[in-house]
Structure 1
Amino acid sequence: MKITINTILFCLVMFSVQGQIKQKTENVVLVTLDGFRWQELFHGADSSLMKQQKQFKDSELKNKYWRDDLSERRKTLLPFIWTVIAREGQLYGNRQLGCKVNVTNNQWFSYPGYNELLTGRADNERINSNDKIYNPNKNVLEFINSQPEYKGKVAAFTSWDVFPYIINDKRSGVFVSTGNFPIKGVNLSEKEIILNQLINALPNPLGDVRLDAFTFYYGLEYMKKHKPRVMYFAFDETDDFAHAGEYAAYLNSANYTDRFISELWNFLQSDAQYKGKTTLIISVDHGRGVDAESWKHHGQKIAEADQIWMAVIGPDTKPMGEIKGDHQLYQSQIAKTLAAFLNINYTSTSTEGVVVKSMFTGK
């Protein structure tokens, strides 16, 4: 049999086509909870830290979040994560079961963490503070927004007002909403008008940081009106309350953020553009300490602050629940994995992380 160059090329093309698996994901939503520990995610409320709360009676907080059974305790704190994602998605980071997730940057606080998460690589030389400096590194949101199919269909709603600098909205062209002030625009919805009234009327103990409820509901209204293909919600209150040593408020914030995610997922399953075609990724920027004092803090001097977690649910993810066994994942893998769900090969000079293949294959 005579084999020609054309025959070889034809076989290669057919092999390539057959090897490609058509993914169902057409949209991706990324959610982060600033500084929310893996300990509460996988174990629920910490009884030793609940005892510190002076503004709440021990019995009140215990009745709300404490259950002797671990599975019930964590489900009480985070019902959506432990009834829906644990059944239909994947959860990484329970170090007691051998599954580890870490940051690769050596700073272990917010801006460096978000830079690594969004770009796929740590930048310890240039990104080593929380200062409002425009990020010189291009990120995955920017990369996707540069693709003709996604141009103008990438957005971020954030509580912390440093995010326009982290995402570099001026260069990237990504729409970033942040700050503790009313949203602007024409043809505001009824809910947006009400939110604008409330944000001016309600006291905000976090100063320039927008309360997470406003971030979520402003963002949800944006999704309903503009139908972005990639959406990022960055919540912040868990970190603020932890720094203040307010464990009750930290737990409350995590609990109602879980409710926000539940409401978000219900919307995604009810909307024609998103239903059955959207992957949700959830993670954090850094970890925290473990004892009565260090849980309030993070950074290089806190030994456990590099320990994080991640979760995923969507039409291309095998339902495996809590991942057990010898696994080591890194924050730097999130950016490339996010793009891979859209069949986009995220390439950038700042990228080192590789795709988390088990989110697609289960192996």
Structure 2
Amino acid sequence: MKKNLLFAFAAFFLLFETHAQKTTKTENVILVTFDGLRWQELFRGADSLLVDDTGMIESSGSLLKDFWHADPIKRREMLFPFFWGTIAKQGQLYGNRAYGNLVDNANKMWFSYPGYNEFLTGKADDERIDSNDKFNNPNVTILEYLNLQPGYHGKVMAFGSWDVFPYIINEERSGVPVNAGFDLAEGGELTEAEKTINRLQTAIRGPWSGVRLDAFTHGYAMEALKKDKPKVLYISYGETDDWAHEGKYDHYLWAARQTDQYIREIWETIQSDPQYKDKTTLIVGVDHGRGITKTSWKNHGQSVPEGGHIWLMAIGPDTPASGEMKTKGQWHSSMVARTVYELLGLEYPDASAAPAIKEMIK
């Protein structure tokens, strides 16, 4: 048991040196992020402080049937049936602070662009990534690195609900195709589903100017997964954060459970496809946390002490089925990038190991 536990930490968060020869089974990686989903809902389910008649729900008691139980273990299963029914049995979940199992942002900004930069590049950059403005990321994401590797070029794709992702991933420099915001599916061989999603997205704009509804992001990503067979796929869902900022706890919970179902569909699709089955690791994370009071839960950032409290989970052929991790320790989302390289059996890149990238970003 001790050996297995140590392997669990090593295989997922890479607390050892990389191997010269690939020893892992992972050939494909799918990265998924929720925007601003709190660890409290993931590990405790609906928050008793917010599921009441304070005006943060449409009508008193309207959330109780779908989300409320006195037992927080049952509550979290009601909210995230796939996470607790599958990933908790076959994978690992990190970030339940009640056990001292801590996952935090390495960056100190605690909002989206810095959080996604950290998750995708493997490092915080508070000096340069200090706003959510649309500027091309000077840092190189793992998606960009992999897109230059033999066997991965042209097989890396990204989808996001937020229209800043083309800049975070630096689509122009990286060559990684990014469908985000209100982008439509393009190309001469669109599937009927892609054509339908294009029509619906054009007709249904949603309530936010820079963030589309997650159903469109998920629909495009699923079609790409089936049609284009990427080896590395990144998907970012955004509704949880936007509903939270509006103070609509009911919509926040519904979006969270819907995203759990989206991820279930991704996993079931993977497991039914010979290219992916038992060869793919799925890693799920979040860009930042949020507050814990009736007012601060709507917000995050440096003024919210809990804004950097996050979580991570993984499932795949190289991730032991350790479930909810209860061992005390400290992890950061910056560890994800190195983990992906280890899982794929690749040497983790740096400036000296990637001259081609270095030339591109001069």
- Superposition TM-score, scaled by structure 1 size: 0.89
Corresponding residue of 1:31: 32
Corresponding residue of 1:228: 230
Q: Please say if 1:64 is aligned against 2:69.
A: no
Q: How far did 1:331 drift?
A: 1.4
State how 1:120-135 maps to structure 2 within 5 Å.
Answer: 120-135=122-137
Instruction: Tell me, yes or no, if the aligned pair for 1:66 and 1:73 is still in contact at 8 Å.
Output: yes
- Residues in 1 aligned to 2:58 and 2:211: alpha-carbon distance in whole angstroms: 24
Matched letter for residue 341 of structure 2: A
Q: Deviations over 1:26-80 (max 9, x none)?
A: 0000000001000000000012112234552222211110011111100000000
Instruction: Tell me, yes or no, if the aligned pair for 1:45 and 1:74 is still in contact at 8 Å.
Output: yes
Corresponding residue of 2:250: 248
2:78 alignment partner, SS class: helix
- Residues in 1 aligned to 2:329 and 2:47: alpha-carbon distance in whole angstroms: 25
Matched letter for residue 150 of structure 2: P
Q: How far did 1:179 drift?
A: 2.0
Q: Please say if 1:215 is aligned against 2:221.
A: no
Matched letter for residue 207 of structure 2: P
State how 1:304-323 maps to structure 2 within 5 Å.
Answer: 304-323=306-325
Instruction: Tell me, yes or no, if the aligned pair for 1:134 and 1:166 is still in contact at 8 Å.
Output: yes
Matched letter for residue 344 of structure 1: L
* CA RMSD, Structure 1 to Structure 2 (Å): 1.6
Corresponding residue of 1:271: 273
Instruction: Tell me, yes or no, if the aligned pair for 1:181 and 1:200 is still in contact at 8 Å.
Output: no
Q: How far did 1:307 drift?
A: 0.5
Matched letter for residue 163 of structure 2: D
Q: How far did 1:191 drift?
A: 0.9
- Residues in 2 aligned to 1:25 and 1:181: alpha-carbon distance in whole angstroms: 31
Instruction: Tell me, yes or no, if the aligned pair for 1:110 and 1:130 is still in contact at 8 Å.
Output: yes
Matched letter for residue 263 of structure 1: E
Corresponding residue of 1:356: none
Taking only the aligned residue pairs, the percentage that are identical comes to 52
2:209 alignment partner, SS class: coil
Corresponding residue of 2:23: 22
Matched letter for residue 348 of structure 1: D
Corresponding residue of 2:192: 190
Q: Structure 1 residues 186 and 98 mapped into 2: Cα distance closer, same or farther (>3 Å)?
A: same
State how 1:1-363 maps to structure 2 within 5 Å.
Answer: 20=21, 22-51=23-52, 52-53=54-55, 55-349=57-351
- Residues in 2 aligned to 1:138 and 1:187: alpha-carbon distance in whole angstroms: 30
- Residues in 2 aligned to 1:350 and 1:114: alpha-carbon distance in whole angstroms: 24
1:47 alignment partner, SS class: coil
Matched letter for residue 241 of structure 1: W
- Residues in 2 aligned to 1:118 and 1:319: alpha-carbon distance in whole angstroms: 25
Q: How far did 1:308 drift?
A: 0.4
- Residues in 2 aligned to 1:332 and 1:298: alpha-carbon distance in whole angstroms: 19
Instruction: Tell me, yes or no, if the aligned pair for 2:50 and 2:56 is still in contact at 8 Å.
Output: no
- Residues in 2 aligned to 1:152 and 1:217: alpha-carbon distance in whole angstroms: 21
1:64 alignment partner, SS class: helix
Q: Deviations over 1:190-244 (max 9, x none)?
A: 1111111211222411223111110011111011111000000011110001111
Q: Deviations over 1:217-275 (max 9, x none)?
A: 11110111110000000111100011111110000000000000001100000011101
Q: Which has the larger radius of gyration?
A: 1
- Residues in 2 aligned to 1:21 and 1:189: alpha-carbon distance in whole angstroms: 36
- Residues in 1 aligned to 2:125 and 2:99: alpha-carbon distance in whole angstroms: 30
Q: Deviations over 1:281-330 (max 9, x none)?
A: 00000000000010000000100001100000001110000000211101
- Residues in 2 aligned to 1:296 and 1:345: alpha-carbon distance in whole angstroms: 40
Matched letter for residue 137 of structure 2: N
- Superposition TM-score, scaled by structure 2 size: 0.89
- Residues in 2 aligned to 1:206 and 1:348: alpha-carbon distance in whole angstroms: 38
Instruction: Tell me, yes or no, if the aligned pair for 1:137 and 1:350 is still in contact at 8 Å.
Output: no
- Residues in 2 aligned to 1:258 and 1:319: alpha-carbon distance in whole angstroms: 19
- Residues in 2 aligned to 1:348 and 1:331: alpha-carbon distance in whole angstroms: 18
Matched letter for residue 38 of structure 1: W
Corresponding residue of 1:354: none
Q: Deviations over 1:58-114 (max 9, x none)?
A: 222111100111111000000000000000000000000110001111111000111
- Residues in 2 aligned to 1:196 and 1:184: alpha-carbon distance in whole angstroms: 9
In structure 1, list runs of 5 or more residues that go unmatched.
Answer: 1-17, 352-363
